[in-house]
Structure 1
Amino acid sequence: MFGNQRSQPHEKATNESQSNNQNRVARVVSTDMLSRNISIILENLLKRYEQSQLPTHGQGIPTVVQTNILIRSMGPVSELDMEYSMDCYFRQYWRDRRLSFKGPIKSLSLSIKMLDKIWRPDTYFYNGKHSHIHTITVPNKLLRLDQDGGILYSMRLTIKATCPMELKNFPMDRQSCPLIIGSYGYTNQQLVYEWKNQDDAVSFVPGMTLNQFDLIGMMHRNFTSTRREGDFSVLHVAFNLKRHTGYFLIQVYVPCILIVVLSWVSFWIHREATSDRVGLCVTAVLTLSTISLDSRTDLPKVKYATALDWFLLMSFLYCIATLLEFAGVHYFTKLGSGEIPRLEEHLENIRKNNMPPAHVIEANEEISDDDLEDGDSDDVSEQMNSENDICICSEHDNIRFESAESLPIALDDTDFRKRNDLTCPIFNHPTYIFPKTSSRATTMERTTQTEPPVASRMRQIWLCLKSDQKFRKQRERDAAAEKTEQGRNVSYVNSVSLIDRIARIAFPMSFALFNLLYWLAYGMYKKEFSWSTIKT
């Protein structure tokens, strides 16, 4: 009794094993039969198949090829070569009733070797460049055949196509890059292309981005292209792109603005510092040249100026205008170097010109205010303040001297190079003091010289341009600007020019206005895309 109970589980296991083996054998037999059936089906289909003829040959209607594209990635977009690339799945559907079959199998996945035995459309990209099929690890192709003769032919492609660009608004530009698909040899009487599922004919994988552009839209259509051989059916898709400007703001615009602003520092440097001001402006120009050359390395040599070119050009003009402004200050208003000559050189000049020793005034000599006001332009009236070591000269002294060598004023050699030591104004010493009776107005900062009346400014400019020496010497005599210091009128030569003071305001305001107009003109411009405006 117990022996029978033990044998029952063993018999059940044996029966299950036999059943599984039978099922496995049945599946193998079924698979073998299916494989034989497929082979038989394909052999029968290809027996009388003519590969060179279109599926609708002799029917009087064109073969219709439906197409759709799934884009995996896009870029880079090259302005230099005016091209773009993308990685996509390119799918084509057509019906060839010569390949229809009957049986339990609804569709067959065929080997790509079958492509050499059946007809397929001679599709190519009109504006394609260096496109290729992926072959790693095997050729990335798919061929599927339905019972009714429908064929799906899919492949993974990297397409590099031309993209005609209009760069007048670069880098605030918008571009439309086309992809044109058609038959190489069949006219629209033989082969017609259509988009499959118009709403989803061209799609993108989720999360696809471009590093330099934003994809703001996409348009597609099918139309007829006329060539010398006839009319051809064509598919056209346009990718509308908007360029990112962040890179150019950081690398070009902001540095250019800062360089232009830096060049304005020269307006606050006194005109005696010729090398400092010239060096600053020249350095700014050279730096802008480097930025300009670097910014155009990735751009084609187009015949028109881009928005970036206009900005760089205006930056150049502002830096050069700063340099020319100092040239004007130097030529029209600078009357000396601003340095104090050595005492030995003065005495040597006095001896060479046979100047009488009476022109050297002792520090304790006193002259009354009446003598300063007597109006005699031939008398040189000077007074030394022994406590402050200051030389006081009459305003009439400026017209007394014919040249720099004729100035006789000198101080004690030990005190001559002190800052509070003074010579008369022809040597441009910064602490020349007018008497209290001077009628000149005072200012609160160092200035250049008394400006001529408005009515005679043009004549003054003309005399400067023709290098009239008589006029220039007269300007040297009259050059003085005032400052109130300890109750006395103090005059300086070669300090701050009125031109510089005007430039401090004019240059920043005009540059700010230029930037405002520039960004309004280019930044707010939005290009609208239509088929009539897209280049192919």
Structure 2
Amino acid sequence: MRRVLIFLLLLVPLLVGRKSKSKSCKRTTFSRSTTNYEAWREQMTVCDLLEDYDPAVRPSGRTPYNDTKGAVVVTTSLNVRSISAVSEKNMEFVAQFRFRQEWYDDRLRFFTKEDTLIQSEYRNFEFIHVARDQNLWIPDTFFQNEKNGWYHYLNQENRFLKIRSDGKLIYDRRLTLHLACSMHLSRYPMDHQNCEIAFASYAYTTDDIEYVWDVPAIQIHEKANGALPNFEIASFKNGSCTSKTNTGIYSCLKVEIRLNRVFSFFLLQLYIPSSMLVGVAWVSYWIDWKSTAARVPLAIVTLLTMITTSHAINSNLPPVSYAKSIDIWVGACVVFIFFSLIEYAVVNYMGILDEHRQMRKAACNRSRLSNVIDNDNGFGESLQSLTFSPQEKKRLIRRRHKKSLELQEGEGDFESIEMTDCGPPRTAGHMEQGWTFHDTTDLVYIGQRKRVELVRWCSVLSSRGRAERIDIIARILFPIAFLLFNFAYWSIYLEDDEP
């Protein structure tokens, strides 16, 4: 029993040591006439190369151009197939690309000018394919801003590993990654975002692995923009992101991709509809202020619609601490619609006050006229003692002569009676006090006529009630204010902040 235990203890280290080595090849014999003779030749070459090969040990760093030992130089390149699913809420984007790495492993050379045996007809090919079950040393590359990802296996694993005759390895793999992208949304949706793809060695420092870019370093597929609904790839550039940590200096490379947001979508889906909602809210200024059932629902419906639109927009955006340009636009539209509701509250309040004042004034005037008619003998004295306007006095005199003064009951009847002047008609030369007619070709007269029209418009405005005057002013003031806001808004945000 003791001998069995000792044998097992000696056997375990041997098994563990063999586990790290590459899988041995099965030796077979083929003739030259066999169809897959070329493939068999390649695999036999790989078997010879992997005879004493340990994939756990990195290459020495020697190349055909530099025979000194050092760090393994890994030449990399990216072929971006598509960039899709840019998420502002999660601050990430999805990229599908082919990632290629090339390096030299002097243990895998199978063709040199000095070795005549290797130059034989059985090994005169330049590249050979490595089977998936044959283990070689591969750089432990990882993507620093990767959040999730996967390799492609349809229908077979989308990768290949080739060995060149001088010991150069080419490792190409297709993968899809969810990559973090730090976005600044202060100019959303007229912004652009700079996202990057950064990769480095996970365990090896620059003493062991050094990454360099191939030429060309980056290739963007011509249809890569087709998968982006709201963005387009404006530019890209490669760079270095080598960092120093407590454990050493790690070689790192990155690709910076600039994504410009397509603004036409937001123009058609947000800016134009919201502007129309603001215009619909202004329709209430042309509706009679007494039509409460028409004006209040119009303002409330447009206000709720704008608030709902704001919530729908923010549900797809992260909760940031700064104001976005779309927040300013939506907030301004909400304010304009809300002010239209406040304007009607003021108009309604002023209109009710005017009606009450007219009712009190009409009642007071009816009381005065009743006293004057009852006291017929003292009509002259009473007429002189009461404080009437000249028009009211003339009207009382006419009605006194006719003996048919009628007291009309109702709200504001007396105020609605037209006050006419019984004086002689004004001649053409005295249409307005201080103004005389001139030839229409006279420039002075044209300027005077414009001022007369302005004065006439002001007099018409002053003859209206306060509620109607507020509505008339709002019809002009609110559109002008909205146009000024648009001018300032688009002047600021349409200007590109970066070249």
TM-score, normalised on structure 2?
0.72
Shift of 1:526: 3.6
Q: What is the aligned partner in structure 2 of residue 153 from structure 1?
A: 171
1:16-415 matches, within 5 Å, as 27-29=32-34, 31-32=36-37, 34=38, 37-56=41-60, 60-101=69-110, 102=118, 103-114=123-134, 117-197=135-215, 200-209=216-225, 210-335=228-353, 374=384, 376-377=386-387, 409-410=408-409
Question: What CA distance in whole angstroms lies between the structure 1 residues aligned with 2:387 and 2:369?
Answer: 20
Shift of 1:423: 2.0
Q: Any conservation in 2 of the 1:142–1:155 contact (CA below 8 Å)?
A: yes
C-alpha distance 47-378 of structure 1, shift in aligned 2 (>3 A): closer
Query: C-alpha deviations, 1:139-190, integer Å up to 9, x for none?
Result: 1111111111111111111121001100000000010011101111101111
Q: Any conservation in 1 of the 2:88–2:318 contact (CA below 8 Å)?
A: yes
- In structure 2, give the amino acid aligned to 1:208: A
- In structure 2, give the amino acid aligned to 1:424: F
Q: What is the aligned partner in structure 2 of residue 498 from structure 1?
A: 469
C-alpha distance 147-373 of structure 1, shift in aligned 2 (>3 A): farther
Shift of 1:303: 1.1
Q: What is the aligned partner in structure 2 of residue 433 from structure 1?
A: 418
Whichever structure has more helix as a proportion of its residues is: 2
C-alpha distance 40-385 of structure 1, shift in aligned 2 (>3 A): farther
Question: What CA distance in whole angstroms lies between the structure 2 residues aligned with 1:31 and 1:136?
Answer: 25
Equivalent position SS for 2:97: strand
Query: C-alpha deviations, 1:373-423, integer Å up to 9, x for none?
Result: 74623899777999xxxx999xxxxxxxxxxxxxx633xxxxx9xxxx982
Structure 1 unmatched ranges of 5 or more:
1-24, 342-348, 394-407, 411-415, 426-430, 439-480, 485-490, 529-536
Query: C-alpha deviations, 1:296-336, integer Å up to 9, x for none?
Result: 22111111110000011111111122222223333345435
Q: Any conservation in 2 of the 1:269–1:277 contact (CA below 8 Å)?
A: yes
C-alpha distance 383-235 of structure 1, shift in aligned 2 (>3 A): same
C-alpha distance 86-247 of structure 1, shift in aligned 2 (>3 A): same
Q: Any conservation in 2 of the 1:175–1:241 contact (CA below 8 Å)?
A: yes
- In structure 1, give the amino acid aligned to 2:46: L
Question: What CA distance in whole angstroms lies between the structure 1 residues aligned with 2:154 and 2:275?
Answer: 50
Q: Any conservation in 1 of the 2:42–2:129 contact (CA below 8 Å)?
A: no
Equivalent position SS for 1:136: coil
Q: What is the aligned partner in structure 2 of residue 471 from structure 1?
A: none
Query: C-alpha deviations, 1:104-156, integer Å up to 9, x for none?
Result: 12210121222xx2100001100012111100111111111111111111111
- In structure 1, give the amino acid aligned to 2:103: W
Shift of 1:501: 2.1
More deviation, 267-276/152-161: 267-276
- In structure 1, give the amino acid aligned to 2:131: S
Question: What CA distance in whole angstroms lies between the structure 1 residues aligned with 2:405 and 2:175?
Answer: 92
Q: Any conservation in 1 of the 2:128–2:163 contact (CA below 8 Å)?
A: yes
TM-score, normalised on structure 1?
0.67
Q: What is the aligned partner in structure 2 of residue 523 from structure 1?
A: 494
Equivalent position SS for 2:474: helix
Equivalent position SS for 1:231: strand
C-alpha distance 132-203 of structure 1, shift in aligned 2 (>3 A): same
Equivalent position SS for 1:424: helix
Structure 2 unmatched ranges of 5 or more:
1-29, 63-67, 111-117, 424-457
Equivalent position SS for 2:235: strand
Shift of 1:72: 1.3
Q: Any conservation in 2 of the 1:193–1:222 contact (CA below 8 Å)?
A: no
Shift of 1:293: 1.0
- In structure 2, give the amino acid aligned to 1:204: I
- In structure 2, give the amino acid aligned to 1:226: K
Equivalent position SS for 1:112: coil
Query: C-alpha deviations, 1:276-302, integer Å up to 9, x for none?
Result: 332222222111111111112211111
Equivalent position SS for 2:77: strand
Question: What CA distance in whole angstroms lies between the structure 1 residues aligned with 2:54 and 2:107?
Answer: 9
Query: C-alpha deviations, 1:405-454, integer Å up to 9, x for none?
Result: xxx633xxxxx9xxxx98223xxxxx43224369xxxxxxxxxxxxxxxx
1:421-500 matches, within 5 Å, as 423-425=413-415, 431-436=416-421, 494=465, 497-500=468-471
C-alpha distance 356-309 of structure 1, shift in aligned 2 (>3 A): closer
C-alpha distance 26-265 of structure 1, shift in aligned 2 (>3 A): same
Shift of 1:222: 2.2
Q: Any conservation in 1 of the 2:46–2:130 contact (CA below 8 Å)?
A: no
Equivalent pairs, count: 403
Question: What CA distance in whole angstroms lies between the structure 2 residues aligned with 1:392 and 1:249?
Answer: 66
Equivalent position SS for 2:267: helix
Q: Any conservation in 2 of the 1:270–1:496 contact (CA below 8 Å)?
A: no
